[in-house]
């Protein structure tokens, strides 16, 4: 998680929209996209939001580690 933090924070800072997920279909190689809905607490990210702090809190919740 530490190694990808800067990439994730940069991505969130550049894309303040809904999440679009992509994955390749292993049998065809076609990339399948989806705009899923999540059943979890929502964290609103606006221009003044410290995305790095949101990332750190999320990692802590998932891994019980503070970055």
- pLDDT tens-place string over residues 6-46: 998 888 788 766 677 888 988 999 998 887 776 667 777 78
- Overall pTM surpassing 0.75 (yes/no): no
Half-sphere exposure of 33 (CA within 13 A, CB side): 4
Domain, as residue range, for 9: 5-63
- What secondary structure letter does DSSP report for 30? P
Mean pLDDT of 46-65: 83
Q: Provide the pLDDT for residue 67.
A: 46
The strand pairing partners of 37, in sequence order, are none
Q: Provide the pLDDT for residue 8.
A: 85
The number of distinct structural domains making up the chain is: 1
Q: What are the residues whose beta carbons fall under 8 Å from the beta carbon of 25, sequence distance 6 or more?
A: 31, 32
Q: Three-state SS for 6? A: helix
């Amino acid at each position: 998680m530490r190694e990808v933090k800067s990439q994730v924070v940069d991505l969130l800072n550049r894309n303040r929209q809904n999440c679009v997920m992509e994955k390749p279909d292993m049998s065809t190689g076609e990339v399948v996209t989806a705009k899923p809905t999540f059943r979890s607490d929502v964290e609103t990210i606006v221009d003044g939001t410290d995305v790095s702090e949101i990332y750190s809190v999320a990692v802590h919740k998932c891994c019980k580690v503070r970055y």
